[in-house]
């Protein structure tokens, strides 16, 4: 094998990969970042933009087990499922359901809570280095429950948030309507997550981080990576354009597509996708002054630089199918229930959340080789956790121990056979 050209090569330039690249470069490593697409054009492009340090309660919940029939069959459910796909991926589905018991959910909540509490320490140095403070808005985040039953079901989650030090107030209907007068949806109660921030344009944030990475001497190549080959003295990357590159270590940060990189050890892990859609209403960015999550609807309305973004819902249908007209129609219906007739959306989008069945990201050394590092599976909170993931990966790339326990994110937690946990 030819000798290493880089200390670190990173596959994938979403929020996670770009954050890894900038952290590693700021530590002085020579870094090559590769993606078949422009930076920030995967899931990181169209998310709801919340820096959701409060979001320690996973989608997995005992509620899903108890309400499965209505969640799966109601036209008004925020969860959609392609049965043929789900049956082909039964081990992932069963592992996901196994992680819906109260004990597992409490454990996941505490692990995520601890990681989310560290998120700003990974993100803020990147925002500062890239001069991206103008893209950040600090105006809290509101979460609304339309019914007493919905709010009652959230009790365990609220307890989990309190246990993990999340700062929030419970607001009554009148206070919410005074804060956000454009809201027309039924309101029972709401939560105000104090100190929460959001990003006015997630892709612009990633472009700024990427530009900063280049300014600091990082190298960028727009091409896919098909295969990695680890040896004792380095890792060879096989590129879609036929070339190869050799790096001392390699990071797999290709989001929901990470399994497609042969030889990386990601192929064997139970990574799947929770598809999410968004609609943009360009003229309506002023309708709310902060992100408003609608718990019963499974979505956020976020004021963005380009207008109002209605983003969310979960669809289990894999990576191959196009946008779902049903999901898009659902989002439009919900947008109209939230704000009245705001007309037709100007844009729509489908993105692929990378999700492990235990709702925890995979951050650590590949079962295949200590020279291959995994950084994917950040499900609903990858924009929030990209920065801290980058800091951990920079530690591992330098063979340093991170300053907290990361064993819960170890790729080896799934054992040698995938889908088992
Ligand atoms: C509707 C929706 C709303 C969301 N809202 C929020 C939110 O408010 N807050 C939050 O924190 N998170 C949110 N998320 C989740 C967040 O967007 C994701 O967790 C995050 O973007 C994942 O980042 P990533 O870098 O791992 O993946 P991606 O952004 O998908 O990046 C992966 C990159 O890898 C590249 N790639 C794939 N295969 C290859 C290959 N073989 N070779 C080279 N490159 C490759 C892709 O082109 C892509 O650019 C939301 C997600 C959705 C869908």
Three-state SS for the chain is: CCCCCEEEEEECCCHHHHHHHHHHHHCCCCEEEECCCCCCCCCCCCCCCEECCCCCCCCCCHHHHHCHHHHHHCCCCCEEECHHHHHHCHHHHHHHHHCCCHHHHHHHHHHHHHHHHCHHHHHHHHHHHHCCHHHEEECCEEEEECCHHHHHHCHHHHHHHHHCCCCEEEEEHHHHHHHCCCCCCCCCEEEEECCCEEECCHHHHHHHHHHHHHHCCCEEECCCEEEEEEECCEEEEEECCCCEEEEEEEEECCHHHHHHCECCCHHHCCCEEEEEEEEEEHHHCCCCCCCEEEHHHCEEEEEECCEEEEEEEEEECCCCCCCCHHHHHHHHHHHHHHHCCCCCCCEEEEEEEEECCCCCCEEEECCCCCCEEEEECCHHHHHHHHHHHHHHHHHHHCCCCCCCCCHHHCHHHHCCCCCCC
Separation of alpha carbons 386 and 380, rounded Å: 12
Q: Which residue has the tokens 């959001």?
A: 198
- Give the span between the Cα atoms of 116 and 386, in whole angstroms: 11
pLDDT value at 130 more than 90: yes
| Structure confidence at residue 1 (pLDDT) | 66
Tell which one of 50, 294, 382 to mutate to probe ligand 1, the residue whose CB is within 8 A of the most ligand atoms: 382
Q: Report yes or no: 338 and 301 within 8 Å, Cβ to Cβ.
A: yes
Q: Give exposure, 333-372, as e/b (b: 16+ Cβ within 10 Å).
A: ebbebbbeebeebeebbbbbbbbbbbbbbbbbbbbbbebb
Length of the chain: 421
- 301 CA to centre of ligand 1 in angstroms: 19
Residue 176 CA to ligand 1 center (angstroms) comes to 32
Domains of the chain, start order: 6-44+204-267+359-414 (3.50.50.60), 56-101+134-197+271-354 (3.30.9.10)
Span 48-56, average pLDDT: 98
pLDDT tier at 3 (50, 70, 90 boundaries)? Answer: confident
* Phi, psi dihedrals of residue 82, rounded to the nearest 5°: -95, 110
The whole-number pLDDT of residue 62 equals 82
Q: Which residues pair with 193 in a beta bridge?
A: 141, 168
- pLDDT for the residue 418: 44
Report which of residues 63 and 49 the model is more confident about.
49
* Residue 210 φ then ψ, to 5°: -65, -45
Q: Counting atoms of ligand 1 from 1, which one is nearest the CA of 375? A: 26
Given a contact cutoff of 8 angstroms between Cβ atoms, the answer to whether 40 and 18 are in contact is: yes
Which residues' Cβ are closer than 6 Å to ligand 1? Answer: 11-17, 34-37, 41-44, 47-50, 52, 224-225, 253-255, 257, 260-261, 276, 278, 311-312, 351, 353-354, 376, 378-384
Contact 265, 250 (CB under 8 A): no
Per-residue confidence (pLDDT) for residue 421, from 0 to 100: 47
In this structure, what token pair is assigned to residue 305?
């630089």
pLDDT digits 0-9 by tens, 32-49: 999 999 999 999 999 999
Question: Is the model's pLDDT at 419 over the cut of 60?
Answer: no
Q: Find out whether 16 and 43 touch, Cβ atoms under 8 Å.
A: no
- Dihedral (CA of 208, 257, 24, 230) sign: negative
| Protein residue with its CA nearest to atom 4 in ligand 1 | 47
Quote the distance between the C-alpha of residue 356 and its chain's center: 11
Could you tell me which residues are beta bridge partners of residue 189?
A: 145, 172
Residue 54 confidence (pLDDT): 98
Q: Is the pLDDT of residue 373 over 50?
A: yes
The alpha carbon of 258 and the centre of ligand 1 are apart by a number of angstroms equal to 11
Smallest CA separation from ligand 1 atom 2, residue: 47
**Percent of the chain's residues with pLDDT above 90:** 92
Residue nearest to atom 16 of ligand 1 (CA): 382
- Confidence band (pLDDT; 50, 70, 90) for 212? very high
Q: Does the global pTM surpass 0.95?
A: yes
CA–CA dist 230, 263 (Å, integer): 8
80, 313 Cβ separation under 8 angstroms = yes
Q: What is the spatial distance between Cα 98 and Cα 123, in angstroms, rounded to a whole number?
A: 32
Ligand 1 site-directed mutation target among 353, 355, 387, most atoms within 8 Å of CB: 353
Mean pLDDT for 347-360 is 98
Of 254, 276, 385, which is best to mutate to test ligand 1, by the most ligand atoms within 8 angstroms of its C-beta? 254
Average pLDDT of the residues in 357-384: 97
pLDDT at 85: 94
* 416 confidence band (pLDDT: 50, 70, 90): low
Q: Is the pLDDT of residue 141 over 60?
A: yes
Encode pLDDT of 65-85 as tens digits: 777 777 777 778 888 888 899
Q: Place 360 in a pLDDT band, splitting at 50, 70 and 90.
A: very high
Backbone angles phi, psi at 323, to 5 degrees: -55, 145
Average of pLDDT values for 43-56?
Answer: 98
Q: Of 9, 12, 200, 278, which is best to mutate to test ligand 1, by the most ligand atoms within 8 angstroms of its C-beta?
A: 12
- Distance separating alpha carbons of residues 147 and 20, to the nearest angstrom: 41
Percent of the chain whose predicted confidence (pLDDT) is above 70: 98
* pLDDT in the model for residue 120: 98
Contact status, residue 271 vs residue 356, Cβ threshold 8 Å: yes
Q: What average pLDDT score do residues 308-314 get?
A: 97
Question: Rounded distance, CA 19 to CA 23, Å?
Answer: 6
Bridge partner list, 80: 315
With a cut of 90, say whether residue 100 has pLDDT above it: yes
Q: What is the band of 274 on the pLDDT scale with cuts at 50, 70, 90?
A: very high
Q: Looking at residues 297-315, what average pLDDT do you find?
A: 97
Rounded mean pLDDT, 334-346: 98
User: Does pLDDT of 405 surpass 70?
Assistant: yes
């Amino acid at each position: 094998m030819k000798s290493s050209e880089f200390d670190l090569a990173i596959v994938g330039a979403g929020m996670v990969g770009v954050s890894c690249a900038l952290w590693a470069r700021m530590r002085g490593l020579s870094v090559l970042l590769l993606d078949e697409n422009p930076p920030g054009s995967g899931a990181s492009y169209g998310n709801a933009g919340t820096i959701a340090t409060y979001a320690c309660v996973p989608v997995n919940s005992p509620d899903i087990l108890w309400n499965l029939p209505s969640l799966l069959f109601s036209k008004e459910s925020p969860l959609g499922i392609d049965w043929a796909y789900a049956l082909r991926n039964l081990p992932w589905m069963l592992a996901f359901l196994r992680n819906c018991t109260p004990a597992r959910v409490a454990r996941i909540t505490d692990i995520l809570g601890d990681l989310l509490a560290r998120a700003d320490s990974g993100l803020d140095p990147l925002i500062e280095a890239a001069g991206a403070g103008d893209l950040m808005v600090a105006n809290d985040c509101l979460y609304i429950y339309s019914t007493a039953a919905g709010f009652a079901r959230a009790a365990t989650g609220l307890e989990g948030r309190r246990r993990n030090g999340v700062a929030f107030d419970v607001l009554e209907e009148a206070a919410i309507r005074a804060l956000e007068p454009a809201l027309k949806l039924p309101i029972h109660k709401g939560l105000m997550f104090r100190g929460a921030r959001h990003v006015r344009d997630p892709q612009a944030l990633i472009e700024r981080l990427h530009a900063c990475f280049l300014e600091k001497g990082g190298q960028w190549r727009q091409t896919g990576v098909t295969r990695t080959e680890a040896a004792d003295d380095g890792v060879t990357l096989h590129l879609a354009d036929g070339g190869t590159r050799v790096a001392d270590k390699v990071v797999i940060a290709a989001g929901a597509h990470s399994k497609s990189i042969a030889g990386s050890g990601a192929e064997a892990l139970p990574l799947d996708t929770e598809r999410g859609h968004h609609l943009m209403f360009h003229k309506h960015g002023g309708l709310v002054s902060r992100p408003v999550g609608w718990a019963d609807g499974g979505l956020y309305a976020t004021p963005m630089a380009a207008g109002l973004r209605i983003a969310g819902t979960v669809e289990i249908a894999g990576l191959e199918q196009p946008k779902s007209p049903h999901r898009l129609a659902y989002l439009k219906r919900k947008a109209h229930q939230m704000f009245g007739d705001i007309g037709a959306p100007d844009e729509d989008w489908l993105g692929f959340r990378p999700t492990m069945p235990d709702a925890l990201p995979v951050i650590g050394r590949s079962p295949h080789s200590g020279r291959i590092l995994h950084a994917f599976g950040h499900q609903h909170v990858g924009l929030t956790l990209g920065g801290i993931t980058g800091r951990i990966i920079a530690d591992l790339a330098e063979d340093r121990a991170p300053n907290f326990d990361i064993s819960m994110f170890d790729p080896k937690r799934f054992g040698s056979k995938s889908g088992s946990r």
